[in-house]
Structure 1
Amino acid sequence: MTDKTGYRPLYQQVRDLFQSRIADGTWLPGGKLPSEQALARELDVSHGTVRKALDELALQKLVERRQGTGTFVRAVTPERSVFQFFYFARPGGDRLMPEVVETRSSEGAANALDRRQLRLADGAQVVRVDRLRGFDGATTLIERMVLPLERFRGLAGRKLPNALYAMYHSDYRVLVSVVTEELRAVAAETDDAALLGVSPATPLLAIDRIAYDLDGIAVEWRQTLCLTRDVVYSVTQR
């Protein structure tokens, strides 16, 4: 193997190749990878190089090693996708699993802000998903998402699951690996206040998120408004 873009350690080149096989569906979620010895022979690299590449993928939580069984592509289960990227909890308590209250989706032209956030070309089309979610029957979250139509054809009008990222992976071969978020406090506007059942100008937490796939390409822009009367945004750092 050679790196045409400049020198990088060989194990990183092998890692990127394996990552591409996961991203494009060559290696399916839950599937067992060939043995390290077989991969080393295929790529004409050392066993140690393959192992180091797989160690990196394990740290990224893209594969999992099972003692005495082998290495498997980690399946993006609904539970995993929710708790990996969803940070709401009761104060001092565990993470919460939100409930979907209402969902609407449609297709349309990307506006200037959509194009900037998702780095889309002029004339690009997008899927818009608006939904309400909450806890214990109360609406707590307003989510507005924009997705590139080129990556998510047929999504609009579907019955969408609670855990969208698991569906992105299983149905569209889009694996969300990184999200960036910006948080700020805002006052509820009249329409949003009505959806949440609160008075206009009630304080809300606004979360602006961009989700990226394994290749670093933006695949979702999500704006969330949260009523934090009974929940908190809880992050654990290691």
Structure 2
Amino acid sequence: MVFDVLTLFPEMFYSVLSTSILKRAIEKGKIKVNLINIRDFSKDKHKRVDDYPYGGGPGMVMMPQPIFDAIEFVKKQGDIPVYYLGPKGKIFNQEMAVKMSKLDRIVLLCGHYEGIDERVYSIIDEEISLGDFILTGGEIAAMAIIDAVSRLIDGVLSDPQSYREDSFFEGLLEYPQYTRPEVFRGMKVPDVLLSGNHAEIAKWRRQKSLEITLLKRPDLLKKAVLTEEDKKFLREKGFDI
């Protein structure tokens, strides 16, 4: 999969893309990240990409011309969907990550300053936000999306089961995890995880996922894929379903 990142600060991505799972995914050819500097498309002799907002007000606004030209440059290579990382977009979630992971290529446009000229929206497919808070720019959001989507691409993780059991993959939060030692400062690993009984372990993990989701994010349960056994368990816990 190819990620075309349109940014004013490509250097922000260097460390992230040269470490851990993303580095290995790039080396294996599972993903490719093109860092495209929007300033390279500015027609201003000083490579200026922002200007004061019409009507007055604080801050600067990203000008349309460099962004239009940058997007059109990428789109010459195909009909590639363009996602703008901005505060007014849909909240990014695992469902969106899964949909993106099935595409061959996407453009991630990183906003900055007070945002983009409104006319840029005419060539954007969708605006995405990480949540109800403000970042200095879209670069950190783009990194999060690249990471979330990449790990869903076949061959990026050594074991596909890793992401299938992640929080949010089936609409539930993940069950508790333990590793060695068996006892640490008086706290013991649950007996069921040491039993070797895989059916009982799977049941325990499922019920713990349900319990944790009920406690921390009950809103997720309304959209989660639940079995009749799940529903019975939740009703016993007092959840109306």
TM-score (normalizing by structure 2): 0.22
The structure richer in helix per residue is 2
The structure richer in strand per residue is 1
Larger radius of gyration: 2
